Amino acid sequence: MGGSKTATAVAAADVTLATEPLVALLREIAEDSDGLVQLRPGLSDARMDAWAAPVPEEIRVLLRAVGGIRIAFGRRKDDGTYLFSEIDFDESLNDGTFPLGGDGSWYVEQAGGPGTHRFVHLDSGDGFVYVDVDRETGAWGPVFIFWDANDTARLDSSLHAWLHRTAVCLRDALRDADGNPHAFSSAFSGSWTDHHTNVPQVPTIPAAEARTSPDPVIRSVATALPDDGALADLREVDGAALVIFDFPELCHFGRAHGGAVLTAVPTNPYEDD
């Protein structure tokens, strides 16, 4: 029993150490950006305790230090202050409300339902970026994006990996823009989104077919899906990957096996009208 506790403590310490240089990099980038990059205040444990799924300590360490990132994309005409795009770990859509008001609960369900994910960024191209969350254990898995369609992409293997790539893109864009917010935004957006464009497409498997797979993981996941559902096996994916589910309507996404298997069930956005 003592050995198990020691191993757990060492693993937690390793994650904490991995988090510290990431936080330091983000802080350095913000300090050297002349206001083009700003860090949101860290989140309290009380706030994270209110979320639908338990938050593991390695994620708390990161979010206590950084609550999000504000990234300038231009200036206001009236006073010249920066306009920002936001990475926000306490994004209001997680509670079913869009940042500027309005009901966003359908999108919470589209990503798998409360407690199964955490939205972290809404982009100007109607993209919804979220992290897979295991509702029972609270473990945070890969980072995904979906649009108002049946296409989706895995962006990175973890929140830490996604943020590190974001930090590198920010640092490079700041170097090349020389203080110009429009040049900075263009350089950053180009490199940041290029990561999940022109990437390999992972095939989808209908649920009925997947139930006869020789792979026990695929069979197990397919058993929980309805006949018109489908899945995509991401276990061998290294980096970003595109998945397109061939449904006549939109779909609700889900994840299994630590976020390594993506599932989808067709749905009608007007079914509750």
User: What pLDDT digit, counting tens, does each position of 169-178 carry?
Assistant: 999 999 989 8
Assign 77 a pLDDT band (cuts: 50, 70, 90).
confident
Take residue 18 and report the two structure tokens written for it.
């991995």
Residue 16 confidence (pLDDT) = 55
Residue 4 confidence (pLDDT) = 39
Residue 94 confidence (pLDDT) = 96
User: What pLDDT digit, counting tens, does each position of 125-135 carry?
Assistant: 789 999 999 98
Highest mean pLDDT among 11-15, 125-129, 151-155: 151-155
Residue 269 confidence (pLDDT) = 61
Section 28-56 average pLDDT: 96
94, 108 Cβ separation under 8 angstroms: yes
Q: What is the DSSP string of the chain?
A: -HHHHHHHHHHHHHHHHHHHHHHHHHHHHHHTTTTSEEEEPPPPHHHHHTSSSPPPHHHHHHHHH--EEEEEEEE-TTT-PEEEEEEETT-GGGGTB-TTSSB-HHHHHHTTSTTSEEEEEE-TTS-EEEEEE-TTT--EEEEEEE-SSSEEEEEESSHHHHHHHHHHHHHHHHHHHTT-HHHHHHHHHHHHHHTTSS-PBPPPEEHHHHTT-S-HHHHHHHHTS-TT-EEEE-TT--S-EEEE---SSEEEEEEETTTTEEEEEEE-TTTT-
Residue 266 confidence (pLDDT) = 94
Residue 60 confidence (pLDDT) = 96
211, 252 Cβ separation under 8 angstroms: no
Whether the per-residue pLDDT at 8 is higher than 50: the answer is: no
Q: Which amino acid is at 74?
A: G
16, 61 Cβ separation under 8 angstroms: yes
Residue 272 confidence (pLDDT) = 52
Residue 14 confidence (pLDDT) = 52
Whether the per-residue pLDDT at 13 is higher than 60: the answer is: no
Q: What is the CA radius of gyration of the chain?
A: 20
Residue 249 confidence (pLDDT) = 80
Whether the per-residue pLDDT at 195 is higher than 90: the answer is: no
Section 189-196 average pLDDT: 85
Q: How far is CA 191 from the centre of its chain?
A: 17
Phi and psi dihedrals of 2, rounded to 5?
-65, -40
